[in-house]
Amino acid sequence: MTNLADDIADALNISPPVGGIPKRLFDLTCAIAMLIVFAPLMLIILVSIRATERGPVLFRHQRIGFNGRPFYCLKFRSMAIDAQARLDGLLRDSPEAREEWANTRKLRNDPRITPIGQFLRTTSLDELPQIINVLRGDMSVVGPRPVMADELAHYVPNDIEYRMARPGITGLWQVSGRSDTTYAERVNLDVRYVREWSAGLDLQILLKTVAVVMRQQGSR
Tell me the CA distances in angstroms from 77 to 81, 116, 138, 163, 190, one per residue in order. Answer: 9, 9, 19, 27, 25
Give mean pLDDT, residues 83-97: 88
Residues 122-166: pLDDT tens digits? Answer: 888 999 999 999 999 999 999 999 999 988 888 888 888 899 999
Residue 100 has a CB neighbour count (10 Å cut-off) of: 16
Q: Which of 72, 70, 78 is nearest to 48 (CA)?
A: 78
Predicted confidence at residue 5, as pLDDT, reads 46
Average pLDDT, the chain: 87
Predicted confidence at residue 52, as pLDDT, reads 87
Q: For 38, list phi and psi in degrees, rounded to 5.
A: -95, 0
Predicted confidence at residue 130, as pLDDT, reads 97
Give mean pLDDT, residues 22-47: 96
Predicted confidence at residue 9, as pLDDT, reads 46
| pLDDT higher than threshold 60 for residue 115 | yes
Pairing of strands 168-170, 58-64: unpaired
| pLDDT higher than threshold 80 for residue 177 | no
| pLDDT higher than threshold 60 for residue 10 | no
Cα–Cα–Cα angle for 129, 132, 135, rounded to 5 degrees: 150
Beta bridge partners of 147: 64
Give mean pLDDT, residues 52-79: 93
Q: Using the 8-state DSSP alphabet, how is residue 180 labeled?
A: G
Predicted confidence at residue 199, as pLDDT, reads 94
